[in-house]
Chains A and B, each alone.
Chain A
Amino acid sequence: MPLISHAFFGGIPFPQQVEQKSLTAAKPLEDFSPSTLVLSMRQGLGEICTPTVEPGQPVLVGQVVGESSQGIQPPVHCGVSGRVIAVEPRPSADGEEVLSVVVENDRRNLPAPLLPEMTVHEPASHWIARMREAGLIGMGGAGFPTWKKYGAPAIDTVLVNGCECEPYLTCDHRVMLQRTDRVISGALALGRAAGVSPRQIIFCVETNKPDAAHRLKKAAEHAGMSLISLPDRYPEGGERQLIQAVLGREIPLGGLPADVGAVVSNVATAAAMGDAVMGIPLTHRAVTVSGQVSRPANLWVPVGTLFSDLLRYCGGENAPNPAPPAFWQEGKTCRMIAGGPMTGRLLERLDVPITKATSGLTVLPPQAWEEQNCIRCGACARVCPSRLMPFAIDAAVVAGKMPVCQDYGAVECISCGCCSYVRPARRFLATRVTLARNTLRRQMSAVKK
């Protein structure tokens, strides 16, 4: 498999002991269905859906339980059959309370009627409509509604992202291995929605997953698509980095991938599209539970499963190693991260549900860092994929100088966390640069209005 000549700037090739993918890479997806499901009405970016069911009402697998009034956010489907026991605000992984539909699982898996199966000759608009109907959002983490991406004009390339560069996570790896046919049919469907031929659909897989790459390459080439092997380098799977690495194009400030004629979808999204073609809405996803747990695993679970159920199914957390520092709160042992360690969110409580965009639960030993003075070693600038100078932005944020942050291009931060990872002085760089980016973006959108 040839390595590509383009490369994105910066990034970190994680050593294996940091990446820790071997904990779960060889573990097949296990079916797990919890006794209760909490379906958050906010699954990804965009508005909050309105519940379409009442407490006490029976629900079926694949039934719509929430729909958006504005129509940007796709509907939410239930992944189990049973009875709605509550429609109320519940805590979410973001730390806020979000209106949720709570479903009790009767474990009978009674299916709702499926959507009609798609046929090859339907126009692109039908495929895009199906993405919305089936509830597809970006399953790589950002949770952008998929149909919005594909509606853009002048798309010439569809990149199917199987890089999974985030440490610990292996759920996409397992999806590529175990749901290859769905990934392939889904990718073809994504191509039809974007109006491109199969030749313009490129699978992107990192070299650290040779088995998945091999399997997918054979299947993709059989269907007229191609697969490209990318070096194992975080954040290879970032949308912008992937486009830069494969196509050599840079997205201009404030733009979307569609501005440079490309659209990127995760392999998990492609697999969900493969289901959607057959009329099955997005109700389940693969998640990785890894790190300091007794039994690290890849699970196939309904969306809305609580993190506490995932942890219990995997045998609970291990005793923290090394022992927690003295200031650590009582009763708190390991850090629970929704997603991977580089971009995931620290969970304050475990009784919150996974969403369509949650790729796993990473349990990390307790650790705290002491901020020291920056020594200007420049390591953060060398790994920044946006070629920012995080240490300079950090200093400007501390000094409260937003115009300086703008001058240093802080809006282009992608929050990959590379700067904080390498920094010897242990400063919370990524946190502050992300803060600067968000402040600047708010200012920019305020100016536009």
Chain B
Amino acid sequence: MKPVLSQSAPHIRRGRTTTHIMLDVLIALVPASIAAVWNFGIRAVWLLAVTTLSCAITQWFCLLLRRQGEFDASALVSGVLLALSLPAGTSLWAAALAGAFSIALIKEAFGGIGHNLLNPAMAARGLLLAAFPAALTGYIRPDAVSSATPLSAVDGPVNLDGWLPMFTGFENGSMGETSVLMILVGGVYLYFKGAIRLRMPVTCLGAFSAVIWIFGGSYGWFTGPVVPHLLSGGLMLGAFFMITDFTTKPTTFWGELVFAAGVGILTAVLRLWGPYPEGVCFAILLMNLAAPLLEYLTRARVYGMKNLLGGIRPLKRAH
């Protein structure tokens, strides 16, 4: 698209553009990526490179086919997020396929950036989880011993002394899921850059903790092991980077809260009773689908109007 001279007001704009926001998200993902490389070594570098390149090339190709739009950093964001949500042992061909799928079918097929219904990274992970579960089982430790995510082990009474390694990242799991500390650093950066507001992660984690606390215990209600659940799996990555994705969440205040709470509750439910040890991915995808409706139902009251369950009526005239 060619630059257009705006004929009508306003004649000034804020300097911040979409590219700035995407670059901010990329910067915010740097600590988590460093943690992944620290934990998983060269394998993490390969995985990050493969997904990011796959996403970028696919976007370039799709834009060529669509003959519109331009390359932006959003494909890189999707690529890095995808890599961080995969286990380090994921086979590289599966990762490349997932990256191409996320951009081609989830993003560009719907009209490119801003038009996708599902979070590309989560949809790609969902695809791998459903279609190639074997490719995803390669959870590896820094010492290269393959084992399952610790989530399958938190059913019984949990020794809470063990939370510190989970927090700092020397624990099993997907690449970016392992270091809660580094994800928080990125989240705080985004918060201070104004790209996310804390109410979404806080609501999501709060709702999640509540469900886990009430129903998650082995010795009856209200005994659930909240802290290990909070610190493990993809929850933190999801709460700070996935559900705050502009395009696939509602934009309204209450919509955001319901959306975030929905993700938290669904994640807890899927973790406690679902077939997979992890539930964040499907919880986010399900709530993505509900986002347009949530947004419509929770619209703010327009000035001079009153709301009627999603519709609006004018206020009565006083005179």
Give residues in A with beta carbon < 8 Å to B. 9, 18, 153-154, 167, 240, 244, 250-255, 258-261, 325, 327, 335, 337, 341-346, 362, 364, 367-378, 381, 385-389, 391, 407-409, 412, 415, 417-418, 420-426, 428, 430-431, 434
Interface size bracket, B side: 35 or more
Please report B residues at the A interface, Cβ cutoff 8 Å. 1-14, 16-18, 20-21, 69-70, 72, 74, 111-115, 246-247, 251-252, 299-305, 311-312, 314-319
Whether the Cβ atoms of A369 and B304 lie closer than 8 Å is no
Interface SS of chain B: helix, strand, loop or mixed?
Answer: loop
Say yes or no: B5 contacts A368, CB within 8 Å: yes
Contacts of A253 in B (CB 8 A): 304-305, 314-315
A18-B16 Cα distance, complex, nearest whole Å? 13
Give the chain A neighbours of B10 by CB distance below 8 A.
Answer: 341-343, 417-418, 420-421, 430
The residues of A that contact B317 with a CB separation of less than 8 Å are: 252, 255, 259
**Distance, CA A64 to CA B317, complexed state (A):** 38
**In the bound complex, what is the Cα–Cα distance between A253 and B314 (angstroms)?**
6
Contact A252:B318 (CB < 8 A) given known A327-B2, A374-B114, A431-B6? yes
Do A424 and B20 touch (CB < 8 A)?
yes
Q: A370-B1, A371-B4, A381-B252 are in contact. Are A344 and B246 (CB under 8 A)?
A: no
Q: Is the CB of B311 within 8 A of A346?
A: no
Choose from B3, B18, B251, B318 the contact partner of A424 (Cβ within 8 Å). Answer: B18
Nearest chain B residue, comparing its CB with the CB of A420? B10
Report yes or no: A369 in contact with B4, Cβ–Cβ below 8 A.
yes
User: Which residues of A have CB within 8 Å of B111?
Assistant: 373
* Closest chain A CB from B218 CB (angstroms): 42
Residues in chain A near residue B17, CB distance under 8 A? 372, 424-426
A436 nearest CB across to chain B (Å): 13
**14 CB < 8 A contacts A-B:** A261-B318, A346-B6, A364-B11, A372-B18, A372-B72, A373-B69, A375-B114, A381-B251, A386-B303, A387-B301, A387-B302, A391-B251, A425-B17, A430-B10
Q: Is the CB of B246 within 8 A of A375?
A: yes
List the B side residues contacting A335 at CB < 8 Å: 11
Determine which of B115, B246, B305, B314 lies in contact with A377 in the assembled complex, contact meaning CB atoms within 8 Å. Answer: B246
For chain A, what secondary structure do more than half of its interface residues adopt (helix, strand, loop), or is it mixed? loop
Residue of A nearest to B72 (CB): A372
Give the residues in chain A near B302, CB-CB below 8 Å: 386-388, 408-409, 412
Known A342-B9, A424-B18: A409·B312 in contact at CB below 8 Å: yes
Given A259-B319, A377-B246: A346 touches B7 (CB 8 Å cut-off): yes
Q: Is the CB of B114 within 8 A of A387?
A: no
With A375-B246, A381-B252, A381-B300 already in contact, the answer to whether A431 and B5 are too (CB < 8 A) is no
| Nearest neighbor of B115 in chain A, beta-carbon distance | A373
**A376 to B256, alpha carbons, bound, how many Å?**
13
Beyond A253-B305, A376-B247, A424-B21, list 19 extra A-B contacts (CB 8 Å): A153-B319, A154-B319, A252-B315, A255-B317, A364-B11, A368-B4, A370-B1, A372-B113, A374-B114, A376-B246, A378-B252, A388-B302, A407-B311, A417-B9, A421-B12, A421-B14, A422-B14, A425-B18, A431-B8
Complex alpha-carbon distance, A434 and B305, angstroms: 18
By beta carbon, the residue of chain B nearest A345 is B9
Nearest chain A CB to B315 CB, angstrom units: 4
A253-B304, A412-B302 known; A346-B314 Cβ under 8 A = no
A252 lies within 8 A of B314 (CB): yes
